[in-house]
């Protein structure tokens, strides 16, 4: 059986493509990840234990599907690893746990900008080994409104009551969407993720910036409808087809050194999870159950994120991610310009 999932904060509410994917066989994808990681880790200390343990933090959104699949299909166990999925209320809590050394890494779905900010606060903290992205093809991000709302476009949100999930990442992006759409002086209210749909249903909100599976749940519960989708790519990055690498899977640099030869095995198993999601499509959504709020007949309706392993990242991907980071520097969320390239695990 896979390692049990548990909450660090059990009473907390859950927080919340320009270049086409190169069609690679599973063997090439997985083999490249393992070989590259092995090269990067030459000289790392050997591990005496027969089944190394890694604690990987996640928050319950659809972007983590590759990780959930790798656990539930036994890819980590088959690699001789004991991987524990540790649930958090939001990406900021994942980053805090990384800094404190309570977990070894983050699953996809953890905000890449929050992870970068953590690395800036604790230089050399981590390395990205995979990203999850959204755009008009791989849908993750939306503006939603009450189901009977007369609003037609994002520009109609001027002066409206508008909210997002918790954390500076959500607030910055939610506000930037409206600014780039031409809405003057936008105001954003920060709410726990679990309060967004009830607030739309009660009429306390006119619109909300959300990630999946919130939009699917809202539609199926007859609470909300999508006003516009792929809003980060369209408004923040300037093109709905540009991949928004909003989430990243990472490993602590200290854990990479401590775990040594177990790391290539971990990356190989994780790459199998990515490969499985790509090939299985919506069938893979079965593994959202238990990790997110999605259950029953909602499961097939949740859109799939796109994924890039570190050895698949193209210059165009890095440039798109850098544009996102530069927004956070422009908004003074980052004290200085942070660069994507040094954060990537090297192939």
> Measuring CA to CA, which residue among 30, 98, 94, 103 is closest to residue 273?
30
C-alpha closest to that of 299 among 212, 231, 227: 212
Is residue 239 helix, strand or coil? coil
Buried residues in 314-333 as b, exposed as e (16+ CB within 10 A): eeebbebbbbbbebbeeeeb
Domains and CATH numbers, the chain: 6-136+243-343 (3.40.190.10), 141-236 (3.40.190.10)
Tell me how far apart the alpha carbons of residues 175 and 222 are, in angstroms, rounded to a whole number: 26
Asked if residue 201 lies in contact with residue 146, where contact means CB atoms within 8 angstroms, the answer is: yes
Q: Tell me the DSSP string of 118-182.
A: HHHHSTT-EEEEEEEEESSSS--EEEEEETT----SGGGGTTS-EEE-SSHHHHHHHHHHHHHTT
261: how many CB neighbours lie within 10 A of its CB? 14
State the CB neighbour count (10 A cutoff) for residue 226: 16
Rounded Cα gap, residues 327 and 319, in angstroms: 13
pLDDT in tens, 93-140: 999 999 999 999 999 999 999 999 999 999 999 999 999 999 999 999
| Contact status, residue 65 vs residue 288, Cβ threshold 8 Å | yes
281 dihedral zone (left: phi>0; alpha: psi -120 to 50; beta): left
* pLDDT recorded at residue 89: 87
Instruction: Give the per-residue pLDDT at 49.
Output: 52
Using alpha carbons only, give the angle 102, 103, 104 rounded to the nearest 5 degrees.
135
204 prior amide bond cis, ω within 30: no
Give the DSSP H/E element, type plus range, for residue 245. strand 244-252
Q: Convert 171-185 to b/e letters by CB count within 10 Å (16 or more is b).
A: bbbbbbbbebbebee
The phi and psi torsions of 224 (rounded to 5 degrees) equal -140, 170
pLDDT value, residue 59: 87
**Using a CB cutoff of 8 Å and minimum separation of 24, what contacts does 98-101 make?**
98/57, 98/125, 98/126, 98/250, 98/252, 99/125, 101/252, 101/254
Indicate whether this model's pTM tops 0.75: yes
* Strand 82-87 with 53-58, pairing: parallel
Where residue 321 falls (left for φ over 0; alpha for ψ -120 to 50; beta otherwise) is alpha
The one-digit pLDDT tens for each residue of the chain (347 residues) are 444 444 444 333 333 333 333 333 333 444 444 444 444 444 444 444 579 999 999 989 899 999 999 999 999 999 999 999 999 988 899 999 999 999 999 999 999 999 999 999 999 999 999 999 999 999 999 999 999 999 999 999 999 999 999 888 999 999 999 999 999 999 999 999 899 999 999 999 999 999 988 999 999 999 999 999 999 999 999 999 999 999 999 999 999 999 999 999 999 999 999 999 999 999 999 999 999 988 898 899 999 999 999 999 999 999 999 999 999 999 999 999 999 999 999 96
């Amino acid at each position: 059986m896979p390692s049990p999932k548990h909450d660090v904060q059990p009473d907390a509410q859950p927080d919340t493509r320009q270049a086409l994917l190169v069609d690679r066989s599973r063997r090439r994808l997985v083999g490249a990840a393992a070989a590259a990681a092995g090269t990067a880790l030459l000289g790392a200390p050997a591990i005496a234990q027969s089944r190394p343990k890694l604690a990987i933090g996640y928050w319950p959104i659809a972007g983590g599907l590759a990780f959930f699949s790798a656990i539930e299909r036994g890819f980590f166990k088959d690699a001789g690893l004991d991987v524990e999925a540790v649930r958090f209320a939001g990406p900021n809590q994942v980053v805090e746990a990384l800094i404190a050394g309570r977990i070894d890494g983050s699953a996809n779905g953890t905000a890449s900008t929050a992870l970068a900010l953590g690395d800036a606060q604790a230089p050399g903290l981590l390395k990205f080994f995979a990203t999850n992205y959204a755009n008009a093809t791989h849908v993750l991000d939306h503006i939603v409104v009450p189901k009977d709302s007369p609003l037609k476009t994002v520009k109609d949100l001027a002066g409206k009551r508008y909210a997002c999930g918790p954390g500076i990442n959500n607030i910055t992006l939610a506000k930037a969407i409206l600014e780039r759409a031409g809405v003057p002086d936008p105001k954003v209210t920060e709410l726990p993720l679990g309060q967004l749909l009830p607030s739309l249903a009660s009429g306390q909100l006119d619109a909300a910036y959300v990630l999946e599976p919130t939009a699917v749940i809202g539609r199926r519960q007859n609470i909300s409808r999508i006003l516009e989708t792929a809003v980060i790519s369209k408004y923040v990055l300037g093109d709905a087809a540009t991949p928004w690498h909003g989430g990243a899977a990472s490993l602590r640099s200290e854990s990479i050194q401590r775990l040594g030869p177990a790391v290539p095995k971990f990356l190989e198993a994780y790459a199998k999870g990515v490969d499985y999601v790509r090939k299985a499509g919506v069938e893979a959504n079965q593994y959202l159950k238990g990790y997110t709020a999605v259950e029953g007949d909602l499961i097939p309706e949740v859109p799939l994120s796109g994924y890039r392993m570190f050895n698949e990242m193209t210059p165009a991907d890095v440039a798109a991610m850098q544009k996102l980071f530069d927004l956070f520097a422009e908004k003074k969320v980052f004290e200085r310009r942070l660069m994507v390239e040094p954060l990537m695990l090297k192939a």
